[in-house]
Structure 1
Amino acid sequence: MARTIARDHDEKRAQILKSAARVFATQGFDRASMSELARDCGISKANIYHYYDSKDAILYDILETHLRGLRDRICGLDLAGLSPEAQLRVTLREYLLAYKGADNEHRVQVNGVDRLPPAEREILLDYQRDMVRHLAAILGALAPPALAGDTARLRAATMSVFGMLNWHYMWNSGAGTQARADHADLMADLTLKGLPGL
């Protein structure tokens, strides 16, 4: 007879992913054991194996859940009727708000994607590509014609904006909602005023 799924299955799974992200981010993936992950989650080792058969499966689920959620949140923004400048400001703000409380997942992402098998890595890279295309389209609408028509330079500009976004947690991880909104506006100003110079 098939085993029934507990009512709190999704909550337990989310708890495992959050705890595992913290352990992987602070101790490193290689040094973390399934026993340690179970202890940090407050469940038995046998119970953690009910959800995941390996550390690799947990790593993939952390990254897939994090990046898919981020992609859906950003690419699902309703930007209709907004000017390209307003679209940029809304998008940058949403990124920094989405990153709030996800520093461990972000650290795991920086070091973890390359550990995965090619098929899993490709899924995660597709999420990232969707977000790059989304931001590049906004920047392309803002850029002077010479930059908008230069695919390589527009991509470089897009990735530079992502650099500002993605490393925010390094110097300001504890920032609250208003501080994140203010920083998003600073990044938007830097981008908007810098694009004409390119």
Structure 2
Amino acid sequence: MARTIAKDYSEKRGQILKTAAKVFAEHGFDRASMSQLAKACGISKANIYHYYGGKDALLYDLLDRYLEDLRDRLAAVNGAGQDPQQHLRALITEVLLAYQGADAEHSVQSSSLRALPPEQQKTLRGYQRDMVLQMSAAVRSVAPQKFADDKIALHETTMSVFGMLNWHYMWSRDNSTEARTSYAARVADLVLHGITA
């Protein structure tokens, strides 16, 4: 007889993913085991296999949920009713706020995405590409003439913005919303006006 799905099945999967992100970030995906993950989750090894067939499936679900949610959250910042500079500021701020509380997921994305099969990587990189294209469009709209014929400069500027935002969690000791909003404004000022402004 097939095992019935508990009412809190989705909630428990979410809790497993959150814990797995911390374990993968701390110990590395390659070194973490399902036994270690089960122990960290406070459940038996047999029970964790009820939710995930293996470590690879767990990693993919973790990154798929994280990156899809991130992509969708940024897509909601569509610039409606804003001038190009306001839109870019809003997008930069939303990136940093979307990262809040997801340091482990962010770390796992950077270190372990390549451990997945090519087709799964393709899906996940698609989310990343969508976010880069959105930021690139926002950057270009601020200075359309500057970037009209210089795709390299546009790409370098776009990736520099993400570079300033992506590693904030590594050195900032203040994870508050206020600190993130303040830093996002600083990044926007640097992009829009340069260091001497």
Asked whether the two chains share a fold, i.e. TM above 0.5, the reply is yes
| Greater alpha carbon shift after TM alignment, 126-135 vs 1-10 | 1-10
Unaligned runs of 5+ in 1: none
Contact 1:141 1:148 in 2 (8 A): no
Cα deviation code 1:12-64 (max 9, x no counterpart)? 00110010110010011121110110010111111100111111111111111
Q: For residues 184 and 109 of structure 1, do their structure 2 counterparts lie closer, same or farther at Cα, with a shift above 3 Å needed? A: same
Describe how 1:172-191 pairs up with structure 2 within 5 A.
Answer: 172=172, 174-191=174-191
TM-score after normalising by structure 2: 0.95
Q: For residues 135 and 114 of structure 1, do their structure 2 counterparts lie closer, same or farther at Cα, with a shift above 3 Å needed? A: same
Aligned twin of 2:6: 6
**Deviation at 1:99?**
0.6
Alignment coverage as a number of residue pairs = 195
Q: For residues 65 and 173 of structure 1, do their structure 2 counterparts lie closer, same or farther at Cα, with a shift above 3 Å needed? A: farther
Q: Secondary structure at the match of 1:6?
A: coil
1:160 aligns with 2:160: yes
Aligned twin of 2:52: 52
Q: Distance in 2 between matches of 1:175 and 1:9?
A: 31
Shift >3 Å, 4+ stretches: none
Describe how 1:59-74 pairs up with structure 2 within 5 A.
Answer: 59-74=59-74
Contact 2:147 2:153 in 1 (8 A): yes
Q: Distance in 2 between matches of 1:86 and 1:141?
A: 11
Contact 2:78 2:87 in 1 (8 A): no
Describe how 1:66-145 pairs up with structure 2 within 5 A.
Answer: 66-143=66-143, 145=145
**Deviation at 1:193?**
1.1
Cα deviation code 1:59-94 (max 9, x no counterpart)? 111111110010000012242010111111111111
Q: Secondary structure at the match of 1:122?
A: helix
Q: Distance in 2 between matches of 1:33 and 1:128?
A: 27
Unaligned runs of 5+ in 2: none
Q: Distance in 2 between matches of 1:124 and 1:24?
A: 18
CA RMSD of aligned residues (A): 1.4
Cα deviation code 1:105-158 (max 9, x no counterpart)? 011011111111110000001000100110000100112513233112101110
Q: Secondary structure at the match of 2:101?
A: coil
TM-score after normalising by structure 1: 0.94
Q: Distance in 1 between matches of 2:78 and 2:133?
A: 16
